[in-house]
Amino acid sequence: MNRSLQGNLIAITAFAVWGLTPMFYGLLEGQNTIELLVHRIFWSVPLIFIFSRLISMRYDFKSILADKVSLCYSFLAASVMCVSWYAFIYAVTHQQVLTASLGFFINPLITIVLSIVLLKEKPTTGQAVAIVFSFLGVSYLIITTGKVPILALLMGGFFALYGVLKKGVRYDAMTSVMVESVVLFPFAAAALIYQGISHSGVFFQSDLSTQIYFMLTAPMTLVPVILFSLALRRTSLTSIGLIQYLEPSLQFMLATLFFGELLDVHKLVTFSFIWVGLLCCMYPSRLTMHVFRARKKA
């Protein structure tokens, strides 16, 4: 299996896991978003070190600290990811899974735009058309409803920026995720200490099952993030941008079929614009694949 195909398969797994996470967060409906984010960060650190121990992974902290460029990019990536996490957690715990779906339908297109502008990757004609259709879809939603889909744009935009920043990190995938978790840990620990002293956190007042759900936010974060980091090392950002459509597709199905959210005409038209763009984006790739296979057979 070549490296690019391996990266694509890993990315598919990562986004499938992300796409199904609203089912887990449904168990935490209505909980405080900041507190959930704090626990998501805090419990990730012990978990990642336990996982590293299990796979006999050792970190060279001297080399990690010596690579100041990667350390800086990791801090920026982690901080940017927090914004996307916050928007996503709020959406899936406040019956807005369709909003989360919209955000991550937009995200791959923003990723393609950033890869063109910042990484000088050349877009295909299909990708250019997809970007236009996405812009039209979001513009239609804003004009007809009079509301900017802030949560969706925060999710999509900041996660796309996270992917770009990760390209500047020279650590291996596991080290990269570990560093991102560690640099945010002091902030999460300080927040938990404050909540414990002031008795303001739900976690310290809850039963054991609720506390376990709070703690499980860590593996729900780490598994797809580790897979995403591995995929970034093996395939192009443009490929990642296309594969990301799996996540919002699963969330869309969950929102409409499982959670029973209302799909009004404005959202349906917006999604339709984006879906048409997706078809335009994917068709040239399929055509290229068929041509390649035909030449190989010849």
Domain residue limits at 78: 3-297
Geometric angle at alpha carbon 81, from 73 and 277, rounded to 5°: 110
Q: What tokens appear for 109 in the block?
A: 């297109």
Q: How many residues does the chain have?
A: 298
Instruction: State the pLDDT at residue 286.
Output: 45
Instruction: State the pLDDT at residue 241.
Output: 65
Number of domains present in the structure of the chain: 1
> Residues 238, 242, 247, 248: what is their CA dihedral angle, to the nearest 10 degrees?
110
> What letters, b where the CB count within 10 A reaches 16 and e where it falls short, cover 218-230?
bbbbbbbbbbbbb
DSSP state of 235: S
Q: Structure pTM?
A: 0.82
Q: Could you tell me if 111 and 121 are in contact, meaning their C-beta atoms sit under 8 angstroms apart?
A: no
Cα(228)–Cα(233) distance, integer angstroms = 9
Instruction: State the pLDDT at residue 42.
Output: 95
User: For helices 68-93 and 173-198, what crossing angle results, to 10°?
Assistant: 60
Q: What tokens appear for 11 in the block?
A: 């990315």
Residue 194: count other Cβ atoms within 10 Å of its Cβ: 12
Tens digit of pLDDT per residue, the chain (298 long)? 677 788 888 888 998 998 999 999 988 988 999 999 999 999 999 999 988 888 788 899 999 999 999 999 999 999 999 999 999 999 999 999 999 898 888 877 787 788 888 777 777 777 788 888 888 888 888 898 888 889 999 998 998 899 889 888 999 878 988 999 999 999 999 999 998 898 888 898 888 999 999 999 999 888 887 888 788 778 876 777 678 778 888 999 999 999 988 888 988 998 898 888 777 766 654 443 333 343 334 3
Q: Where are the beta strands (DSSP E) in 40-111?
A: none
